[in-house]
Amino acid sequence: MPPYQPTASRRRSLETISVWALLVTLIVGVFFFIPSSAIPLSTTKTFLLAAGALITLALYILARLARGNIILPPFMLVGALWLPAIAYALSASFSGVAFGTTFWGTALEPDTFGFMLVAAVLGTLAAFILRRSEHYRSFLRTSAFVFGVAALLEVLVVIIGQFAPNTISPAFSLVGSFNDLAFLMGLGVVGVLITFRFLQLPRRAYQLLAASGIAALFLLAIANSSLVWTLLALVSLGLFVEAVMQRGPKSADGDLDEAAMLGDATPEADEGSHSLVLPLLVLAVSLFFLIGGTLGGALANALHVNVLNVRPSWQSTFSVAHQSYATTPIFGSGPGTFGVEWLKYRDASLNSTVFWNIDFSSGIGFIPTSLVTTGLAGALAWVAFLLLFIVCGLRMLILRAPEDAFVRYVAILSFVSALYLFATAVFDLPNAVILVLAFVFAGLFVSTTRFAARSQQWGVIFSRSPRLGFVIVFSLTILLLASVVAAYTLVGRAIATAELASAGAAFSAGNLDQADQAAQNSVAFAPTAAAYQIEAGVATGRLSQIVASSTMPTSAAQQAFQTALSTGINAALTATRLMPSDYQNWLALGNLYAQAVPLGVKGAYDSAKSAYDSAQKLNPTNPQIPYVLAQLDIANKDNKSAEADLKAAIALKQDYTAAIFLLSQLEVQDGNVKDALTSALAAAYFTPNDPNILFQVGILYAAQNDLANAVSALSAAVTANPQFANARYFLAAVYAKQKNFPDAITQVQAISDMSADNAKAVAAQLAELQAGKNPFPANLLSVTPASASPAPTTPAAAPAPAQ
Q: Is 118 helix (H, G, I), strand (E, B) or coil?
A: helix
**Residue 174 pLDDT:** 87
What is the per-residue pLDDT across 293-334, written as a single tens digit (0 to 9) for each? Answer: 677 778 888 888 887 788 899 999 999 999 999 999 999 999
- Determine contact, residues 26/146, Cβ cutoff 8 Å: yes
Beta-bridge partners for 72: 458
CA 416 to chain CA centroid, Å, is 27
Please, what's the b/e burial string for 337-357 (b: 16 or more CB within 10 A of its CB; e: otherwise)?
bbbbbbbbbbeeebbeeeebe
Beta-bridge partners for 205: none
What is the per-residue pLDDT across 154-206, written as a single tens digit (0 to 9) for each? Answer: 999 999 988 888 888 888 888 888 999 999 999 999 999 999 999 888 899 99
Model confidence at 607, pLDDT cuts 50, 70, 90, reads very high
Q: How far apart are CA 193 and CA 283, in angstroms?
A: 11
- Of 1-5, 449-453, 716-720, which gets the smallest average pLDDT? 1-5
**Residue 274 pLDDT:** 55
Give the CA distances from residue 603 to residues 544, 599, 609, 626, 708, in Å, rounded to whole numbers and listed in that order: 20, 11, 10, 20, 49
**Residue 802 pLDDT:** 31
Model confidence at 609, pLDDT cuts 50, 70, 90, reads very high
- Determine contact, residues 191/273, Cβ cutoff 8 Å: no
Q: How far apart are CA 786 and CA 666, in angstroms?
A: 10
**Residue 548 pLDDT:** 81
Model confidence at 152, pLDDT cuts 50, 70, 90, reads very high
46 vs 656: which has the higher pLDDT: 46
Tell me which residue of 152, 127, 130 sits closest to 141, measured CA to CA. 130
User: Of 125-134, 434-443, 699-708, where does the model show the most confidence?
Assistant: 434-443
Residue ranges of alpha helices (H) inside 263-365 are: 274-291, 293-302, 314-327, 338-345
CA angle in degrees (0–180, nearest 5) for 131-137-142: 115
CA 207 to chain CA centroid, Å, is 37
Percent residues over pLDDT 70 in the chain:
91
| CA-based radius of gyration for the chain | 34
**Residue 798 pLDDT:** 32
- Determine contact, residues 454/11, Cβ cutoff 8 Å: no
**Residue 38 pLDDT:** 61
- Determine contact, residues 313/356, Cβ cutoff 8 Å: no
Model confidence at 272, pLDDT cuts 50, 70, 90, reads very low
- Determine contact, residues 404/133, Cβ cutoff 8 Å: yes
Q: How far apart are CA 421 and CA 434, in angstroms?
A: 7
Mean pLDDT of the 483-510 span: 91
pLDDT of 454 > 90? The answer is no
Mean pLDDT of the 51-63 span: 93
What is the per-residue pLDDT across 88-124, written as a single tens digit (0 to 9) for each? Answer: 999 999 988 999 999 999 889 999 999 999 999 999 9
Mean pLDDT of the 450-466 span: 78
Look up residue 316 and give its amino acid: S
pLDDT of 355 > 90? The answer is no
What is the per-residue pLDDT across 631-653, written as a single tens digit (0 to 9) for each? Answer: 999 999 888 999 999 989 988 98
pLDDT of 596 > 70? The answer is yes
On average, the pLDDT of the chain sits at 86
261 vs 584: which has the higher pLDDT: 584
Which DSSP helix (H) or strand (E) runs through 444?
Answer: helix 432-448
pLDDT of 668 > 90? The answer is no
pLDDT of 35 > 70? The answer is no
**Residue 658 pLDDT:** 81
Taking residue 191's Cβ as centre, other Cβ atoms within 10 Å add up to 24
pLDDT of 783 > 70? The answer is no
CA dihedral 285, 288, 289, 295 (to 10 degrees): -120
- Of 36-40, 88-92, 146-150, 635-639, which gets the smallest average pLDDT? 36-40
Model pTM? 0.85
What is the per-residue pLDDT across 394-423, written as a single tens digit (0 to 9) for each? Answer: 999 998 888 889 999 999 999 999 999 999
Model confidence at 284, pLDDT cuts 50, 70, 90, reads very high
Model confidence at 14, pLDDT cuts 50, 70, 90, reads confident
